A and B are shown apart, each in its own frame.
Chain A
Amino acid sequence: MKNTLTQTTLSNGLKVLLKEIHTAPIISSWLWYRVGSRDEVQGRTGVSHWVEHMQFKGTPQFPANILDKAISREGGTWNAFTYIDWTAYFETMPADKMDLALRLESDRMLNSRFDASEVASERTVIISEREGNENEPLFILGEAIQQTAFRVHPYHHEVIGDMADLHSMTRDDLYDHYRAFYVPNNAVMAVAGDFDTQSMLARIKELFEPVSAGNEPVRLAREEPPQNGEVRLSVEGPGATSYVQVCYRFPSASHPDFFPLSVLDSLLAGPSNLNMFSGGISNKTSRLYRALVDKEFVVSVHGGAQATIDPFLYTITMTIHPRRKPEEALAALDQEIRRVKAEKVMKEEITRAIKQARALFAYGSENITNQGFWLGYAEMFADYNWFETYLEKLSAVTAKDIQRVANEYFQPQSRVVGTYIPAQGVGV
């Protein structure tokens, strides 16, 4: 069955993408706002994520507590995510109940109350969320690396924000951020599933066009200057396990080099899965697994490439073997990095990476929520065409491209190496 895609922009600037899929009586609707932690200044770090929480606290039409019950009652599921570049809200509903989700989203684009007492109670909820994160060694390490890698660019802080700001931000800080960024001309509405495009589009127009366009949001423009030499850092915390993260600077997702780098990631560390709802595959025959886990320098290794608007980080995370020291693992990793820079990879390795990507795409397509996700996601850093031509672009990658990008991006002088040192000591 051919799934038809419709793209249009409403008179108020809201971009709409619709994809009919008639495989199950389900519709998934995703509303994406171009706002994330990249839009936050110090003193208000974490404001985007907190605003996302406040979007569940009610409007005059749908008071707090009514909203979530209304969705659950209809058998739907909903959630929201805040990332460095974007904030997304989704509802997946039985097809005949979708109207509720559309009404909710159009209402809270403009009418969320940000009641002071709700702000107060959510403050402690978010502080609790951050305390939960701080229990995790890799959160503590990741935060230290991010603030080191980005001194100038607003990617320097975690999405959840700094504890100091979570204590000091006011209701008006939150509300101002909401009003500045939650405007239709700063949003993308993507709906996938069991509907008729013409009537869906008519209903979206009816609900969303009354929301007037706002001013174009003001963006921070603080480009990260080049890094002059490798930075190493360590953090200490409870436990018996050491971790090392090595972060190289990666280009934005819209940069042509993103594709050879994705193939490189796949053969070094196993494919990073950009699907949110369909898991990944094992990486036990990736180069780094063979060189590091098989040789018992580490007990696990993972690579993480992320699709971002501005250049961000490619992170290799190693859980150090209990009988090894972090430096030994790092030396073994460096040997593999040198190899990929010095020698061309085999054609079969590229073919394999492409087949892996094709399989991951197929798994993701089983699921309507995931299809809805993809429609809007690619719009946040490129456009839907980026997604549709992804496999094609991977297929065009050559061994020469891979060697070139390995040399260009895996530079020791622009990387950050972070070590988590456990209180119970390193190695034996």
Chain B
Amino acid sequence: MMTTFNSALPGADDIYREVLPNGITVITRSNFNSPSVVVNGYFEAGALFDPDEKLGLAEYTVHALMRGTKKRSFDKIYNELESVGASLGFNTSVHKSGFNGRSLVEDLPLLLDLLSEALIAPTFPKTEMEKLRAQLLTGLDVRAQDTSDMASMIFDQILFKDHPYSRPEDGYHETIRTIQRSDLVKFHREHYGPRGMVIAIVGAVQPEEAIRQVKRALGGWQVKGQKEAPELPTLKLLKSTVRKHHRIPGKSQSDLVIGTNGPKRRDPEFMSASIGNNILGQFGMMGRIGDVVREKSGMAYYAYSSLSAGLGPGSWEVSAGVNPENVKKASDLIVNELKRFVQEGVTVDELAETKANFVGRVPLTLESNGGVANALLNIERHDLGLDYYRRYEGLVNEVSQDHVLNTARKFINPDKLAIAVAGR
């Protein structure tokens, strides 16, 4: 017995979506193969709301949500969760904050109760705030020693100069030190609420039951005056290549990030950029970049390109870890590949291979409940339509060599790159 390809992909007939009266969107799909369930989602309280002098506030707040609620202490919350092998964690990105939870299906009500308490009624106990502060500051100490993290941070500072995207969500030592408990309370009061919140539930539960559970736990949440996100300023594009080398003494490897702006997720060029990027630095052993930097010159264990496309302007970047002596050589090789990419585009064969890869790998990305939940959130966040994964093959096959070339030329100018290096 073989399972058919299309029946395994999510579509309008097996995704169930409902918007609750308070604005929460619930999107769910059943999977009874394993007795487990995933609850992932996001809400509108991202780092975009952070004042510059309190950068890291959104992140501090999400980490503090489970440090105590009106009903339960920190220890009690985690005791309930961990005793049943469940987990629930929060995270922050620029536009949104999010959560990832999972449990055995019998514990779904508990998981949603804890999610609800953390979102609606956190108490931010003072002693817990200080413990958390020490952990966040240690995290920043570790970041300062991580060549890859620091190269990415410097890259964003160059590429998104004077734009909120230049700011690291986890802040800086000086900003984390100034944040007070009252800041968290205020941030929570002003920015947490059901409007704009999306919950995806995937696992061994019927859709009606999943929706009923969410209604029970979060349907009554009402917030007046939940603030709108600020408008993004216009991004100033680079006028010439900008290089920065961030010194971290004593490191045996340096990391470099070279790149430029990329499309938004909803831009018409997204698919052609995505296919182009795969050829440039993903396909097989890290695409053309991997071939030149790793396979032919043996200079790096990893050298690849990536596209980061979200609600606002994206980035298109090449990353590599190399011996400090080889930074210049590797950087030249990468810039040459970018030149070749915008001059020659991609070949017929390369395009065909990548299309086959894109279409073929879909079932693999949807293997686990977490994979499906993230696909559902992706559909919701970018308004892709419930049939997106069934239409996907057609969308991929529409892309031509010219599309890829025009998109590459639109975004990548090899004379206007951001080049960030972190290491010795």
**Which residues of chain A have a CB within 8 Å of any CB of chain B?**
22-26, 56, 64-65, 68-69, 71-77, 92, 94-97, 120-129, 131-132, 134-135, 137, 194-196, 237-241, 270-271, 277-278, 280-286, 290, 293-294, 296, 299-300, 319, 321-323, 352, 355-360, 362-363, 365-369, 423
Contact = CB atoms under 8 A, between A and B. Distances in A.
A359 B285 CA distance: 35
Given A284-B82, A300-B135, A367-B368, 10 more contacts: A72-B284, A73-B353, A75-B357, A75-B363, A97-B360, A125-B299, A132-B253, A135-B147, A281-B85, A359-B85
Given A24-B8, A95-B2, A69 B353 contact: yes
A284 B3 contact: no
Interface in B320-345: 321-323
Contacts of A299: 134-135, 138
A241 B75 contact: no
Contacts of A126: 301
B363 A25 contact: yes
Interface stretch (B33-41, B42-50, B380-388): B33-41
A180 B174 CA distance: 58
A144 B241 CA distance: 43
A23 B357 contact: no
Contacts of B110: none
Contacts of B89: 282
B22 interface: no
Contact of B134 (A26, A92, A323): A323
A271 B144 CA distance: 30
A241 B353 contact: no
Contact of B363 (A94, A123, A134, A322): A94
A281 B82 CA distance: 7
Contacts, number: 219
Contacts of A135: 146-147, 251-253
Contact of B35 (A285, A355, A362): A362
Contact of B84 (A74, A95, A196, A359): A359
Contacts of B284: 65, 68-69, 71-72
Nearest to B353: A73
Nearest to B146: A135
A22 to B, nearest CB: 5
Nearest to A284: B78
B145 interface: yes
B145 A362 contact: no
Contacts of B302: 132
Contacts of A134: 252-253
B299 A128 contact: yes
11 contacts: A24-B363, A73-B353, A75-B364, A77-B364, A92-B367, A128-B301, A285-B78, A322-B134, A359-B86, A363-B368, A366-B368
A96 B360 CA distance: 10
B33 to A, nearest CB: 4
B107 to A, nearest CB: 8
Nearest to A300: B135
Interface stretch (B159-167, B217-225, B288-296, B410-418): B288-296
B283 interface: yes
Contacts of A281: 81-82, 85-87
